[in-house]
Structure 1
Amino acid sequence: MDENTEIWRQYYKKALSRSHLKRTEFAASLNASNLKIATDCGCGTGSDIHYLEQQGYQVHGFDINPDSVAICRDRFGAKSQVEISESSFESFDYPKAGLVIANSSLFFADPNFFEATWGNIKSSIEIGGVFAGDFMGTRDSWAKNHRSPTTPLSESEVKALFSDFEVVRYFECDETAKTSLGKMKHWHLYSVVAIKRA
């Protein structure tokens, strides 16, 4: 088993005990489209899927990691409102949605195809629908030479992604802190919640 696989396994073990993000709750409350359909990009162990399904959403979750997909299929196999796919950001077929969440996941989108990936995400969101997620900044210690490719963006690049949106919440984190596995690293993130207006 390679080091990458083992790191993800440890991460998922810890993540299983976590509740959904409050930001997901906030984003769902802002959805003014008539679609109760959500896409969870890089769904991990499915804590946000669980919350959204409870709120009556039809949820499409995907992750590139087979361990994550297996965990979610175990958790939600009996739920007809939840569909789990093993997919990358680049190859996922984004359904029309009232909510797209990408919590700590878009960092790992392929930088060579990021523009097209973001185009697919953006066009899948219905007018009045909501995007909630994180982008990696250029000062993050994973922005260069990480074990897998990352897509770091400048602040102006992040803001340019939301020209057709009303940004409701915007937060920059630029600090040294622990990862969920207890290792120290420098985090540089932009967290955004935005409503699609055009």
Structure 2
Amino acid sequence: MPIKDEQGKQGNWSQFYAKTIAREHAFATELAVKCNESGLKVAVDCGCGTGSDIAFLAEQGYQVHGFDINDESVAICHARFEQTPQVSVSQSTFEQFIYPETGLMIAHASLFFADPIRFKETWNVMTSSLVTGGVFSGDFMGTDDSWASGFHCATAPLSKQQILHLFEGFEIIQFQERHEPGRSLIGKEKYWHTFSVVAIKRE
């Protein structure tokens, strides 16, 4: 997840990474691979965490570019993929990353933390790098999420209509809304309001 913690929060991210390092790739990533009609086997994993999706994509023959703002995450990925030449991982933000032309873009539980002021600009840059027939798979924070306001860093909550507007020129394959109380991966209670989208770029 691309978020740089304040002092005192790093322990939470260490717990998060300890929980996720053995996690399987997301089902949505598998679906995205199946839906990629572009013929371009290049993928970008935005907020790559410990690299579960990267590992799966590399196994599918993709050249994968991952980035995360957290140095611990990047260090884990560098060690994990040092013998995998088709994988490159860098420390960056959504706003600073140089997006290559890509057939697949993954942003699972990471766009929550994109700069809300520059979100539209960032989204345009991201989707401009996605070729026609390519696939986006990712999650967006809804306006009722516990982290939508008062979180320890800026977040980028969006309404359902705002999210649907982002996908003009796409064919939406999957659109799921989560709206329920629950827990974070490290066990803290929170209210989840998220939207998960898999879509093919048509224009």
Answer whether TM exceeds 0.5 for this pair.
Answer: yes
Q: Give the alignment partner of residue 148 of structure 1, picking from 144, 153, 164.
A: 153
**Which amino acid in the other structure matches residue 32 of structure 1?**
E
For residues 197 and 129 of structure 2, the distance between their equivalents in structure 1, rounded to whole angstroms, comes to 17
Aligned twin of 1:181: 186
Does structure 1 residue 69 correspond to structure 2 residue 74?
yes
Question: Secondary structure of the residue that 1:149 maps to in structure 2?
Answer: coil
For residues 194 and 152 of structure 2, the distance between their equivalents in structure 1, rounded to whole angstroms, comes to 18
Q: Give the alignment partner of residue 57 of structure 2, picking from 52, 55, 60.
A: 52
Q: Which runs of 5+ in 2 are unaligned?
A: 1-5
Does structure 1 residue 168 correspond to structure 2 residue 173?
yes
Aligned twin of 2:200: 195
Does structure 1 residue 4 correspond to structure 2 residue 5?
no
CA shift, 1:78, in A, is 1.5
Aligned twin of 2:104: 99
User: For residues 4-46 of structure 1, what are the alpha-carbon distances to aligned partners after superposition, in whole Å with 9 as ceiling and x for unaligned?
Assistant: 2111111001101211011100111100002100000000000
CA shift, 1:2, in A, is 2.1
Deviation above 2 Å: which 4+ runs of structure 1? none
What TM-score, normalized by structure 2, do the two folds share? 0.96
Does structure 1 residue 20 correspond to structure 2 residue 25?
yes
CA shift, 1:116, in A, is 1.0
For residues 2 and 118 of structure 1, the distance between their equivalents in structure 2, rounded to whole angstroms, comes to 29
What TM-score, normalized by structure 1, do the two folds share? 0.99
For residues 122 and 74 of structure 2, the distance between their equivalents in structure 1, rounded to whole angstroms, comes to 20
Q: Which runs of 5+ in 1 are unaligned?
A: none
Does structure 1 residue 117 correspond to structure 2 residue 125?
no
* RMSD over aligned Cα atoms: 0.8
CA shift, 1:191, in A, is 0.5
Question: Secondary structure of the residue that 2:148 maps to in structure 1?
Answer: coil
How many matched pairs?
198
Residue identity (%): 53
**Which amino acid in the other structure matches residue 92 of structure 1?**
F
For residues 7 and 182 of structure 1, the distance between their equivalents in structure 2, rounded to whole angstroms, comes to 10
